Structure 1
């Protein structure tokens, strides 16, 4: 396996795990808290469910390399929304009480990378949809 391919697999697995954990935490912490947070930002509360499910299921899919381009496009949109609605005013490193947008920016960059990257040879996309 090529070095680049190994790096791509590691990056995809770690990003998938991060998104999965963030989606899971929205449900474990009580999705109603996330709904309330979204409402406080002026975002319809039902979007908390959408974001949580996309992060949860999308994280698994990304980890496995299934639907990578579509999933990471959705992740990129979520990260853009998070940065501009919740994090930008806190600054890059946050305000001491809440984190800034540094992690969101990295996850956005990783997501954009996978939107444009070639399919990994070590993925369900490659196994199921060889072209």
Structure 2
């Protein structure tokens, strides 16, 4: 969510340019607000957890394969996998997609909790 707030404050012009450079429509960059601001807020309050989680999974897959593609097979300066943090977000969201929001989530009655 903090990455998304940073993009709200500083803008996403660089992201639009990066997507255009990769042959993707720049308008896709605005999806980052949904994947990095709205979906994490929904996860925090436990509302429509699985829908929010799958949005984050899609967001992280796009981020990994566009912005971090060169780092997939490399190690970071501290000795860890270079995309360790994006993968943690991706796999954590994937776990929430399969497990749901739990007993104390705001929405627990339907299959898309």
Asked whether the two chains share a fold, i.e. TM above 0.5, the reply is yes
| Partner-residue secondary structure (3-state), 2:25 | coil
d(CA) in 2 for partners of 1:41 and 1:21? 25
Structure 1 segment 2-21 matched on structure 2, within 5 A: 20-21=1-2
Aligned to 1:38: 19
State the alpha-carbon separation in 1 of the partners of residues 24 and 38 from structure 2.
22
Q: What is aligned with 2:90? A: 108
The ranges of structure 1 where at least 4 consecutive aligned residues each deviate by more than 6 angstroms after the TM superposition are none
Q: 2:60 aligns with which of 70, 79, 82?
A: 79
> How big is the shift at 1:94?
4.8
Conservation of the 8 A alpha-carbon contact between 1:83 and 1:104: yes
| Equivalence for 2:99 | 117
State the SS of the aligned residue for 1:73.
Answer: helix
Higher helix share: 1
TM-score, normalising length from structure 1? 0.69
Structure 2 segments unaligned to the other structure (5+ residues): none
The number of residue pairs the alignment matches comes to 107
- In the alignment, the residues of structure 2 paired with residue 77 and residue 63 of structure 1 have an alpha-carbon distance, to the nearest angstrom, of 18
Whether 2:7 is the aligned partner of 1:26: answer: yes
Length-normalised TM-score, structure 2: 0.79
Deviation sequence 1:95-122 (CA, Å, 0-9, x none)? 8xxxx32111111110110110043111
- Aligned: 1:66 with 2:47: yes
SS at match of 1:43: coil
